Amino acid sequence: MTIGVPKEVYPLEHRIAMTPSTVKNFRKLGFDVKVEKGAGEGAHYRDELYELAGAKVVSRSDVWKSDIILKVRKIENNDACIEDESLGEAKCVISYVYPGSNKEWLEALGKKYPNLSYLAMECVPRISKAQKLDSLSSMANIGGYRAVLEAFQYYKRCPKPMMTAAGKLPPANVLVIGAGVAGLSAIGYCKSFGCIVKAMDTRSAAKADAESMGAKFIEVSIKEEGSTAAGYAREMSEEYKKAQYELTKNTAKAVDIIITTALIPGRPAPKLLDDEIIKGMKPGSVIVDMAAEMGGNCSGTKPGHVIVTANGVTIVGFTDLVSRMAPQSSELYANNLFHLLDNMGGAANFAIRLDDEIISSMCVLNGGKMVWSPAKPLPP
């Protein structure tokens, strides 16, 4: 059974779904591996390294002639590139898909390829036994680090306090909004850089997590649980939102950097920083909106761009934070895929088992039929 790894064509996507060091793991599962020529370049993985590891480096048309296609981004079908014409005999594609936004395209794909199954990497359930395949977590960890680096790229002061003969310099004050995986990673790096860090989240469980990373957790006085029974964030009441707005507004005036990571599964990112809050921030302060790709937590965010407001606040809206760390994010993503294919039986017993709760949660197309519905837990 053959795995094909095409080059990613999505703008600014430098990751690749398999790295040279992970090729041997897929081969141990019994798969032959084909990698498109030059596919690893964006992550500094040269073709020779793939060949040394036992993969075949092939042309773009050849790579699609594989049983399983592993990708990072969903198959493209736009003016610049039509990948779904290339699918040929592939039985299964695994990548991020976002079925809520791509339902019609998926249905059409299923009609065109009646044997095709598609597994969505963002639909891995957030349960203990699926942790090894949970790429949202592995990517969020790396993204949190990169968000901190980007913040200090634009913040023109030192992160940690300094005592010099010429005078004292204070530490940077950081607010992290959303203390999930990405937020906790950002808190950890800000603390290690010597910053003073505050964090807020609507889930009560996030308090202990944020505090364990060294942040001061700030909360509104209204008692309302922000977590569903399954542990995910949910939309809060209007009363809570108003109170959170006031708390954010007052805190934003005093901090130098805000890193926002807030997401609610299946909904656009909540808008938590508006023009009024941003107007109250100090000139020179920086917002990194990690939710930019999902609509942004900040009203001023321009996805993919850095803007500076009239009062001198820099808003970083990069949507490729994880891709900017492509060598390591590719490595972790490839490991997540390896654990998935191991879980699916390797080459010898490969099957889409819908009685497996991980696979049933991830499967959006099964044998050409749409099996995803909005009733399934939605990806963020």
Which residues here bind ligand NAD, judged by CB under 6 A? 126-128, 130-131, 134, 136-137, 140, 177-183, 200-203, 206, 226, 231-233, 236, 261-265, 270, 272, 380
Identified catalytic residue from 131, 153, 212, 237: 131
Could you tell me the smallest distance in angstroms from the CB atom of residue 230 to ligand NAD? 8
Residue 276 Cβ, how far from ligand NAD at the closest point, in Å?
A: 17
Cα(first)–Cα(last) distance of the chain, in Å? 32
Nearer to ligand NAD, 149 or 378 (CB): 378
CB of 170 to ligand NAD, least distance (A): 26
Residue with tokens 């773009």: 60
Which amino acid is located at 351 in the chain? A
Distance CA 108, CA 93 (A): 15
* Spatial distance between the Cα atoms of 242 and 235, rounded to a whole number of angstroms: 13
What letter represents residue 222's amino acid?
I
Smallest distance, Å, CB 291 to ligand NAD?
Answer: 8
Alpha carbon distance 229, 235 (integer Å): 13
Residue closer to ligand NAD by CB (options 90, 252) is: 252
3-state secondary structure 179-245: CCHHHHHHHHHHHHCCCEEEEECCCCHHHHHHHHCCCEECCCCCCCCCECCCCCECCCCHHHHHHHH
Active site residue 232: yes
Q: Which is nearer to ligand NAD, 270 or 300 (CB)?
A: 270
Choosing from 137, 185, 285, 323, the catalytic residue is 137
Backbone region of residue 40 per phi and psi (left: phi > 0; alpha: psi in -120 to 50; beta: other values): alpha
Say whether 355 is catalytic.
no
State both tokens at 356.
């497996």
Pick the catalytic residue from 66, 73, 113, 134. Answer: 134
Is the CB of 60 or the CB of 267 nearer to ligand NAD?
A: 267
Cα separation, 172 vs 121, in Å, equals 36
> Looking at beta carbons only, is 182 or 298 nearer to ligand NAD?
182
**Active-site annotation holds for 134:** yes
**Residue 111 Cβ vs ligand NAD, minimum distance, rounded to whole Å:** 32
Read off the tokens for 208. Answer: 């202990």
Distances 42 to 269, 324, 325 between C-alpha atoms, Å: 29, 9, 10
Closest CA to 145 of 183, 173, 186, 178: 186
Query: Alpha-carbon Rg of the chain, whole angstroms?
Result: 22
Q: Which two tokens stand for residue 285?
A: 């302060």
Query: Residue number with the shortest CB distance to ligand NAD?
Result: 180
Task: Output the smallest distance, CB 199 to ligand NAD, in A.
Answer: 9
CB of 130 to ligand NAD, least distance (A): 6
Dump strand ranges (E) for 96-152. Answer: 117-120
Among candidate residues 232, 285, 289, 329, the one labeled active-site is: 232
Residues 6+ apart with CB under 8 A from 294: 263, 268, 269, 380
- Smaller CB distance to ligand NAD: residue 13 or 201? 201
The yes-or-no answer on residue 95 being catalytic is no
Identity of the residue, 188 or 226, whose beta carbon is nearer to ligand NAD in the bound complex: 226
- Show which residues are catalytic: 126, 131, 134, 137, 232
